[in-house]
A = this chain, B = another copy of it.
Amino acid sequence: MNPLVRDRDVAFLLYEVLDVLSLTRLPFFGDHGRDTFDQFLATTRRLAREVLYPGYRPMDEAPPRFERGAVAVHPVMKAIYPRLAALGMANAPRPAEVGGQQFPLAVTTLASSYLMAANLSAYAYVGLTAGAAHLLEAFASEELKALYMRPLYDGRWTGTMALTEPHAGSSLADVRTRATPASGGHYEIRGSKIFISGGDHDLTDNIVHMALARIDGAPAGIKGVSLFCVPKMRVERGDLVPNDVSVAGVIHKIGWRGLPSLALSFGERGDCRGWLVGEPHRGIRSMFQMMNEARLMIGVNGVATASVAYHEARAYAESRPQGRLPAAKDPASPQVPIVEHPDVRRMLLRQKAIVEGGLALLARAALYADLAAYSQDEAERARAELLLGLLTPVAKSFPAERGYEANVLALQVHGGYGYSSEYLPEAWLRDQKLNSIHEGTTGIQGLDLLGRKAVAGGGAAIAALDEEIRRTATRAAGAGVDADLVAAVVQGTGDVLAVTAHLGARGLAGDVEGMLLHSADYLELFSILVVAWQHLAMAACATAGASRGDHDAAFYRGKVLGAAYFIRTEVPRIAQLCALCRSGEDSYARIRPDEL
């Protein structure tokens, strides 16, 4: 049975690497302790393994049907949804006053990784709902919260993000959906949205869309876009009344096939009402306040999708006999399991290093989010906020890109069988591909990292990162981690700081295009550093753990070898990529479309 995510990894991150229990000293988390964390994790992973995972393949094979204007989900999903909603993941980290359980995000993030690994489409209904409800919680009027946020957090309804429009894609400045003020305090909404995940279904009585639209007369561009609550069914005198939201079409996605992706029309009959959430023309700003959270969720998805495939490949490699080792001279000797071939172990260790490095990064980012929100020390909150912002583009894109590479390797380990839909790795590979596209493409993450986050706070963010990494290096050296590993990460940190200063200076001197030209390479080198740091932290704890005795020796040894692999194969690329960022290499800047 595929474990989806390794329980021991989760405990290691929470209680050995990140010391998440220290959060329980903060008032917001004061009612919690290891017992409540572990109980929540146990409930979640059991639901993932016993309920969500068995539904994955049927949902992949038979996507929701679109008939007579409505979407019908797979019967399996109908059975899953009430049990998933009952788990309360949508508001598990939210305050008790909105029905939440005040769990640290570090805990819920790791818990949610099981659900995503098991059945990412099924979990997405909840993840999207959490995002929509959180927006309402943060910016909506009390009346709107009572009407629409509560049923979302309760799981009675689901929510969506209705941002993208057909002509605009990632360019939210070009949103055209119109909002005309009406006398009842609401707005009349008219427009088309596309790629709306979970935009219609028959799981719940209602769906609440958080939609971007432009109030009549609003300025052009990003500063004229407002956020609205546009329900499928509006509440009128306690009843649910159709709100003129219709399904215009279905996108045939190559993955996430249990979750419909739709084109929606608002106001085709002139009777679609929306309620302003937050201030007029500040919709993008509101959205972006939730963006870190949404992007971390995509990152967890990427890690989870790589994780389930890694565990599948690992089990396959141990059970599939093929070939012999070079030393075996007797052709009549039995074939060995393919895990015995070093190149197969290379492919597995690479997946392990990506999955575990990525999971550690996500858990750490979630911890910073917890501190940023609930630390009682203002300086610590600010510092955590800076680190969270800095890590978010990496936490979103590394799992998407390297997770995809890991998923490719999981398929490759399965050989010809991996190329067939009789085995699951190809399905996870399809699923993973979306993560480099939605919630900001990898290209956009690179621009965000270099153009905004790395130079944030006048260098305070990256200085904080430097401090954190040095602290880890000191701890690793003290624990007895190989000196070359520690030195490589320290050296890499210095290289990244220097290239950041160099590029930042170029931008300050007015050459913003030159500064950003190698943003993709910068994202890559920065990601290597940040994930190498996670591996160094894990190696430090694993070395310390191993020194405490034989308990879990194989687990700890695997951690150390994974760290050695990642640092020795990846960190040397930092210097090379830094040189590329500094170089005058401008071939793609110079090339004209007719020369391509």
Binding site for B on A (CB under 8 A): 164, 167-171, 173-174, 194-195, 219-224, 251-255, 261, 314, 317-318, 320-324, 326-327, 330-332, 335, 337, 339, 341-349, 352, 404, 408, 411-412, 415-416, 418-422, 426, 429, 433-434, 436-438, 441-443, 446-447, 512-513, 516-517, 519-521, 554-555, 557-558, 561-562, 564-565, 568-569, 572-573, 576, 579-580, 583, 585, 587-596
Contact = CB atoms under 8 A, between A and B. Distances in A.
A219 B219 CA distance: 83
A591 B349 contact: yes
A572 B579 contact: yes
A465 B370 CA distance: 58
A557 to B, nearest CB: 5
B322 A171 contact: yes
Contact of A323 (B170, B332, B579): B170
A254 B347 CA distance: 21
B594 A554 contact: yes
A170 B322 contact: yes
Contact of A568 (B346, B554, B585): B585
Contact of A416 (B164, B317, B322, B323): B164
A129 B68 CA distance: 49
A503 to B, nearest CB: 15
Give the oligomeric copy count: 2
Contacts of A224: 331
B173 A331 contact: yes
A314 B419 contact: no
A326 B513 contact: yes
A444 to B, nearest CB: 9
A323 B588 contact: no
Contact of A587 (B195, B222, B408, B568): B568
B422 A252 contact: yes
27 contacts: A174-B322, A194-B416, A221-B332, A224-B331, A252-B421, A254-B419, A254-B421, A318-B593, A326-B512, A339-B596, A341-B443, A343-B443, A343-B446, A345-B593, A345-B596, A346-B588, A349-B587, A411-B433, A412-B442, A415-B441, A416-B438, A554-B592, A565-B587, A568-B583, A568-B587, A569-B585, A573-B573
B573 A585 contact: no
A462 B251 CA distance: 51
B344 A596 contact: no
A356 B160 CA distance: 43
Contacts of A520: 343, 346
Contact of A171 (B221, B255, B323): B323
Nearest to A451: B326
B437 A418 contact: yes
A588 B349 contact: yes
B346 A171 contact: no
A425 to B, nearest CB: 10
Nearest to A325: B513
A4 to B, nearest CB: 16
A591 B512 CA distance: 46
A462 to B, nearest CB: 22
A235 to B, nearest CB: 32
Most B-side CB within 10 Å, residue of A224, A555, A593: A593
Contacts of A411: 433
A315 to B, nearest CB: 10
B254 A426 contact: yes
Contact of A572 (B253, B314, B416, B580): B580
Nearest to A252: B421
Contact of A335 (B171, B321, B322, B348): B171
Given A331-B220, A573-B576, A591-B561, A348 B419 contact: no
A447 to B, nearest CB: 8
A189 B420 CA distance: 28
Contact of A585 (B352, B554, B565, B595): B565
B437 A416 contact: yes
Nearest to A595: B558
A252 B421 CA distance: 6
Contact of A588 (B168, B252, B565, B594): B565
A253 B568 contact: no
A587 B572 contact: no
A195 B416 contact: yes
A325 to B, nearest CB: 8
A63 to B, nearest CB: 11
A437 B412 contact: yes
A509 to B, nearest CB: 15
A91 to B, nearest CB: 29
